[in-house]
Amino acid sequence: MLSDILVNFFHAGAVVFGLLILLWAISVAMKDASLIDIFWGFGFLVVGAVCLYLAEVRTPYLWLLGLLPVIWGARLTAYLAKRNLGHGEDKRYVSMQKRAAKKGMSEMTWRLRSLLTIYSGQGVLIMIVSAPVWVAMATAIKFSYQNDFPNIGDAENLPLTDIGVFAILGAILWLIGFLFEAIGDWQLAAFIKKNKNYDGPIDEKPVMDQGLWKYTRHPNYFGNACMWWGIWLVACQAPWGWVTIFAPIIMTLLLTKVSGRDLLERDMGRRKNYQDYIERTSGFFPMPPKSKES
C-alpha cells in the first residue's frame, strides 16, 4: 500500500515539477512571472490525470476521485488564462522585482530566484494539497474486479473501496463548491467589464455586492474550499484517505489567511465603499447581509 502511494506521489510530482520548470523558462523568455498563476489549477489537473493513468483498474470510485480535480483544474485554468494572458506581468511580481533591484539583484538573478521560491513553492503546495487524491487513489482497489482484470495481482490483499456515503456526500459538497466558484467568477467578470471605464473617486468606486457576492465577499474562495473538503470526504471512502485532512485545512488557510481574502482586502479595505461592504457582508461563509440600520 505504501509503495503504491509513493508511486503516485513521485510520478505526479515529477510531471508537475517538470511542467513548472518548462513554464518558468517560458516566463523568463516572456518576462512574465505571473504565468505561474494560471498553472495553479492545472497542477491539480495533472495530479488527478497522472493518478488515473497509473491505476491498474479504473473503478467508478477512482474515476470519481480522479476527475474532480481534473474538472476543477480545467475550468480554473481556462478562466485564469482568459483573464490574465495579454495584460503583461502582474503588479505583484513587478513589485517583487523592484524590491529585489533595490537590493542590488539583477533581473535574471531575480528570475532564477523565482524558480526556487515562487514556482517550486507552488509545486510543493500542489502536491501537499492534492494528497487526498494521490493517497486514496493508491489505496482504493475493488477486489471484485479481479475476475474482469486478472492481471492486477493478488486480489485478496487489495482493499475494498466503492462509491459509498462519504464519496456521495463529498461529491455533493464538491459540486456546491464548483458552482459557487464558477458562478462567482462569472459574476465578477461581468461586473469588472461593466465598470472598466470608471474614472471617479477611488472611495466611490463600485463594489461587487450582487448575486453570490451579496452573501459572501468571496464566493469563489468559499467554493474552492468546499471543493477540497469535498475531495477529502471522497478520499475518506478509501483506506487512509482520512489522514490527509491536513490538505483541505491548508487550502482553507491559504484562501483566507495567506494569499486569498486577507491579502486581497489589505488594499481594497481602505476604500470607504469596500469598508461598508465589509461591515454588511460575511467574509467567507455565505450569510444574509446585515442591514444598514443594524
* For the chain, percent of residues with pLDDT exceeding 90: 59
* Sequential DSSP letters for 71-101: HHHHHHHHHHHHHHTTS-S-HHHHHHHHHHH
Cα gap 45→56, rounded to integer Å = 19
Whether residue 24 is contained in a domain is answered as yes
Query: In terms of residue numbers, what domain contains 48?
Result: 2-280
Per-residue pLDDT for 137 more than 90? yes
Whether residue 288 is contained in a domain is answered as no
pLDDT at 90: 81
Per-residue pLDDT for 128 more than 90? yes
pLDDT in tens, 254-277: 999 887 787 777 777 778 888 888
Whether residue 292 is contained in a domain is answered as no
Whether residue 290 is contained in a domain is answered as no
Number of domains in the chain: 1
Whether residue 289 is contained in a domain is answered as no
Cα gap 114→116, rounded to integer Å = 5
- 77 versus 91: the higher-pLDDT residue is 77
pLDDT at 293: 54
Nearest to 227 by CA among 83, 129, 127: 129
Full-prediction pTM beyond 0.75? Answer: yes
Per-residue pLDDT for 152 more than 80? no
Cα gap 112→134, rounded to integer Å = 30
Using a 10 angstrom Cβ sphere, with 0-12 exposed, 13-18 middle and 19 or more buried, the burial of residue 248 is buried
pLDDT confidence band for 143 (50 / 70 / 90): very low
Whether residue 294 is contained in a domain is answered as no
Do the Cβ atoms of 285 and 229 come closer than 8 Å? no
* For the chain, percent of residues with pLDDT exceeding 70: 92
Nearest to 139 by CA among 36, 261, 57: 57
What is the average pLDDT score of the chain? Answer: 88
Whether residue 291 is contained in a domain is answered as no
Do the Cβ atoms of 228 and 76 come closer than 8 Å? no
Cα dist from 2 to 7, 13, 64, 256, whole Å: 9, 16, 22, 33
Whether residue 286 is contained in a domain is answered as no
pLDDT in tens, 43-68: 999 999 999 999 988 889 999 999 99
Q: State the cell numbers at 163.
A: 462509491
pLDDT at 150: 52
Do the Cβ atoms of 127 and 47 come closer than 8 Å? yes
The angle at the Cα of 219, spanning 202 to 174, to the nearest 5 degrees, equals 160
* 246-253 helix and 219-235 helix, angle to the nearest 10 degrees: 170
* Sequential DSSP letters for 99-157: HHHHTT--HHHHHHHHIIIIIHHHHHHHHHHTHHHHHHHHH---GGGGGT-TTS--GGG
CA 17 from chain center: how many Å? 16
Give me the residue label for grid cell 515529477.
Answer: 14
